[in-house]
Structure 1
């Protein structure tokens, strides 16, 4: 867990520190921009099943959930088609239960290297690290905790809307493993600084 946090913090610090360093080495300045994003993802193994009084049930899958994220994007002056992106977010999945708050939450850190194939077409690959992985039953069952997890992530996006695939495994405190592989629809955009 500490290794994941240290790796992610190092990535964030390196990304932030790299912007002024690259700007000094080139006549044309590198751009560091605020990056905002989100995703809706599906997939993964069933970690729990919620049964309702009407006879229906709902599975809670490890890779499923919606997320929001904030971070930074660095566009290098000497390689304008190459982008470095780092975000930290919150991923959340709940159930249809209306009398109890059942949810699966995690904090994803994502760092990717990206290439602009065309002005609006981007492909990226990197690592996704999930920490704080918790399944809360709202008191009707046993809560579950999982160890931090790291896995590769791939993305292709056009004009800010993309498809992603993450390969990952969650391990609970009893050492049971669950696939948290997920395919998702992503949305992202940068806050461009005002021109002086």
Structure 2
């Protein structure tokens, strides 16, 4: 009896496409191309002190209301996330931090991001408050810390707590894609290593 492999291959490919699209979405800058160089040049003037991080958390959970979309844990699975397309960023994803400067993140928080549900908060938050929040957001990436522009050591969780794509799932529930949460503390062989490419 001859086994037709086409249906199996089609299923495998159809399952891989959403994951690849989600990863691509995670790596794309949300700053318009004509503003990108200026955004990347911005530097956070605030130290990563406990006081600054605490202020950032207060803003994230309060005045900024970021948790509604990005989740209490920064995983992109906030209460409103399922209604948004594209899904909110997963700040736990180390690849995201490796491909972003703080200036890009500042620009998006202040100005919003065309083609997404991310509105600008420049009218509600001062520049200092936005920079404080960025210091807090960096902590979502765990022990691999800033990971910005190639300084991180691992990819971290590409999936959310429930196995969803950290707000990146396509259709259906956010728990359909399987989980990779265990990579958060990944070190050594088999763990993605950063490079210095922006």
Same fold (TM over 0.5): no
Please state which structure has a larger fraction of its residues in strand: 1
Normalised by the size of structure 1, how large is the TM-score? 0.23
Normalised by the size of structure 2, how large is the TM-score? 0.23
Please state which structure has a larger fraction of its residues in helix: 2
**Structure of greater Rg:** 1
